[in-house]
Amino acid sequence: MKKLLAWSCVALALASSAPLIAATKTVTLSVPGMNCAACPITVKKALSKVPGVAKTDVNLDKREATVTFDDARTNVEALMRATQDAGYPSTVTESAN
C-alpha cells in the first residue's frame, strides 16, 4: 500500500509540473507597409522563422498576414516584433482560437 501511495504522489507531482496543453491560435495582422510584390515574401519569411508558427498566409492586396501558431511556443507580440524587425510594422486586426 505504501508503494502505491508513493507512486501516486510521484505521478501527481509529475502531472502538476508538466506544461499546460498548448492551443493552436490564429491571428490576422494588418501590415500597411507592404506595397510591392517582394513585401509579402519578406513578411512571410520573417513570420515563418518565429518558433511555433505553423502556417502563414500573406495577402498584398489586403495588406494582411494571417498566422496560425502554437501559443505555448510564441505569442502575438513575438509575431508583431518579427514583422517590425523585417521593416514592416503590424497591428492585430483579428484573432481567433
pLDDT at 15 over 80: no
Whole-number average pLDDT of the chain: 85
* Residue appearing with cell numbers 502575438: 76
Task: Report pLDDT for 20.
Answer: 57
Given the candidates 3.60.150.10, 3.30.70.20, 3.30.70.1070, 3.30.70.100, the CATH classification of the domain at 21-96 is 3.30.70.100
Task: For residue 82, give Cα distances in angstroms to 5, 23, 62.
Answer: 49, 21, 19
Looking at residue 8, its pLDDT comes to 52
**Do 27 and 65 contact (CB within 8 A), yes or no?**
no
Predicted confidence band of residue 75 (pLDDT cuts 50, 70, 90): very high
Give Rg (Cα) of the chain. 19
| Amino acid at site 53 | V
Q: Where are the domains of the chain?
A: 21-96
